Each structure stands twice: as structure tokens, then as C-alpha cells.
Chain A
Amino acid sequence: MLYDLGRADLRIKWLVTCLLATLGISYVFGALMVSLYAGFTPERVAATYAGHAMSMPMPPETTMVKEHPMSMLEFAKPEVHEVDTDLLIQDTHVHVPMYGLIAATLALVVAGLSLSQRWALGIITLLFSAPWLDFAGMWLTKFVSARFAAVTLIGGWAMGLGYLAVTALAIHQMWFRSRGVNR
């Protein structure tokens, strides 16, 4: 195969390594952001995307008021970061193309690895399907059931798994396998 990262020029190996390191940094901070704004449990993800809508799915027939006393401590309580439909549209609009580019970039790395066709196709499918699951989970959580928060979590973890698999294979084949040239 002409495109083989294991035998690639040193500059290409270094480029791919820098790319993977950069993506790794972005994934770490992405995970930190998720922990700050949505969390890693189905309950917190459901609270973020389903919000009040799940606890009161049907609007009342006539407008009604509920009152309850508030203490200053309650104002100070950490708020649940809620993503409403407008914000989810915006998030989807901006994230999905970028996730597609990242998946495509990692898939290009996969194409340069010595893997059986089945494994390569499997990893490429994982790279693209993970963000699909991530966002499908958010929309389903908002409009179908809070149970779909698990789909978002699976998608998120699958993104991390896909990145780690590609990185581990690429680093191993580029730098630790002895058949390469220009090491």
C-alpha cells in the first residue's frame, strides 16, 4: 500500500503525532467541559437536555401559578446547565460538522495503518457513529425520553475510545514497530 504510516517519512509521522496530541488535548478539555456543564451520569445528562420539560411535559389548559419561599442559599445553589431547543440547535449546527472533520481526520490516520480491512472499517464506523450517537442521544433525551441520556453517554465514551484506539495503533506502528524507515 502506498499510504502506510508505519513506513512514512519522518515528517509525516511527526505531523500525525502532533495532530493526535492536539486532538488529545482538545478531548481532555472537552471532557472537562462536559463535566462542568452536563456531567457523566445519565441523571445529569437528562437534567441538562430534558430539563423542566420532562417534569412537566404538557402545558396546563389555563395558565397557572405556583409559589414557594426562597432563601438566599437557594439562589446560591449551583444551577443545572440546561440546554433548551434553541441552544441544542446551535450546538448541533456547530459541533456536528466539526466532529465530522475530526472523525475524517482520524479516519485518514486509520487508512494509513496496517490493519485488516474489517478492523479498519470497524474503527472508521466507530469514529463517525460516536458523534451521531452523542447528538442523537441529546435530541432523543429532549423530545422522547430522559432514558436516552445513556445514548449520549455511550456516544461520548465511544468518541474517546475511538480516539484512544487510533492513537495507540498509530503511535505503535509509527514509532515502535521496527520495520519502518526514516525513524
Chain B
Amino acid sequence: MNLVLRGAAIAAVLHITPAVVLVKRPDAVQALLPGADAYVAREVHLSDPDAHRLHELVDWSPDDGVLTFYNGKAGATVVGALTFARVDTPHGPVEVAVGFTPQGAVRGVIVTKATVETKPWVLEAVGAGLVERYRGLKPGDVPAGAAVLAEHAGKLAVYIAGEVDKGVARALAAYGVFHNHVRA
């Protein structure tokens, strides 16, 4: 009984595993907006119909109703944009940074946060080449990193790749529909 109770007590502390920063935000920004020396945060405050529209597309809209993009410039040249997308999994949140070229294609994806529990799965998935699968995707494309990984990675890595796919899909949908189509 003591063992059971001890286990329960430990589980009480561990069940929600704390977020682990895999890549710091400034490092992700520098990697996904290379050469940029000026940044602008573009906050898109969604109306109810637009939040609903986004929800229809990817079964998600931001809880606070705000999509935030970060645009980068090097002098007068636009380097691109990036956004951070969070996916809440039963094992805690996973955050991905998705960078876009000025032409609107995915320049790169970096998993910036995981949890103590999911970190090894993320590292395995990334080590198996997950994030390379997203390069060049454009709004309207469907990320399929998990399907590609299924043949040469463990089940948990494939599972978390599916969650990263969701994050990338959200970023693609948000960028495609709202980044350039709403005027400041």
C-alpha cells in the first residue's frame, strides 16, 4: 500500500511534465529569419467569423483570438516571417517555430519546446529528419512528417511527429489566410 501511495504522490508531481526549452526563441528567430536585423510583431486579432474559419481549416484557433507573426527585414529587404504554434498533447504542450520565405514557402521548422516526457520523442523524430520534411511547404499543403517517419523511427517519435505536423498545419493555415490578407 505504501508503494502505491508513494507512487501516487510522485505521480501527482510528475503527471504534468514541465515545459522544456529545446531551442531558445532568439536562436529560433535567427535561424528562421537569417540575416534579419529588424523585426516587427504583427498581431492579428481575429473576429469571431475568422476564428471560426481558421477552426474549420485546422480544427484550432488561438485561445486568446490573436495570431502573432514576426516579420524580419535586413535593411530594406524582407527576409520572411515566422510564427510560433503550440499544440497541447495529452503529454503536455509542444511548440514549433515555423519560418516562411518572402514567397510564402516554409523556410524551416524548429521544435522549440517540449516536455520532460516528450523531449526524447521529439529528439528522435528530429534526428530522423522530421523537420526537413516541411521545407518548401506552402499554405494549402498538408504536412505529413509522421507518415514519412513511420518506416524508420520509433512509435513515440512517430506519435510526436504527428503533433508537430498539427503545429505546422496551424502555422501554414494561419499564415496563408491571415498574414498578408489583413491590412494593418
Partner of A63, one of B13, B18, B24, B44: B44
Q: CA A79 – CA B113 in complex, angstroms?
A: 12
Q: CA A3 – CA B109 in complex, angstroms?
A: 60
Which positions 69-88 of chain A face chain B at CB distance < 8 Å?
69-72, 75-76, 79, 81, 84-87
Is A22's CB under 8 angstroms from B10's CB?
A: yes
A91 within 8 A of B: yes
Among B63-71, B100-108, B124-132, B143-151, the stretch in contact with A: B63-71
Closest to A70 in B: B39
Q: Known contacts A15-B2, A18-B2: does B9 contact A26 (CB below 8 Å)?
A: yes
Partner of A66, one of B11, B45, B50, B88: B45
Partner of A26, one of B12, B25, B46, B50: B12
Q: Known contacts A72-B26, A84-B63: does B13 contact A56 (CB below 8 Å)?
A: no
A165 within 8 A of B: no
Q: Known contacts A68-B41, A72-B39: does B10 contact A62 (CB below 8 Å)?
A: no
A1 within 8 A of B: no
Closest to A55 in B: B64
Is A90's CB under 8 angstroms from B9's CB?
A: no
Among B134-142, B155-163, B176-184, the stretch in contact with A: B176-184
B38 within 8 A of A: yes
Among A95-103, A112-120, A122-130, A149-157, the stretch in contact with B: A95-103
Is A69's CB under 8 angstroms from B39's CB?
A: yes
What are the residues of chain B within 8 A of A144 when measuring CB–CB? none
Count class of interface residues, chain A: 35 or more
B40 within 8 A of A: yes
Chain B: how many interface residues by the 8 Å CB criterion?
Answer: 44
Q: CA A62 – CA B8 in complex, angstroms?
A: 49
Q: CA A60 – CA B51 in complex, angstroms?
A: 11
Is B2's CB under 8 angstroms from A63's CB?
A: no
Is A105's CB under 8 angstroms from B39's CB?
A: no
Is A64's CB under 8 angstroms from B182's CB?
A: yes
What are the residues of chain B within 8 A of A23 when measuring CB–CB? 9
Q: CA A90 – CA B88 in complex, angstroms?
A: 9
What are the residues of chain B within 8 A of A53 when measuring CB–CB? 63-65
Q: CA A62 – CA B29 in complex, angstroms?
A: 30
Q: Known contacts A71-B39, A72-B29, A95-B16: does B64 contact A65 (CB below 8 Å)?
A: no
Give the top 8 A-B pairs by smallest Cβ distance, nearest first: A52-B64, A84-B63, A70-B39, A98-B12, A65-B184, A26-B13, A75-B26, A63-B50
Closest to B2 in A: A15
B15 within 8 A of A: yes
A94 within 8 A of B: yes
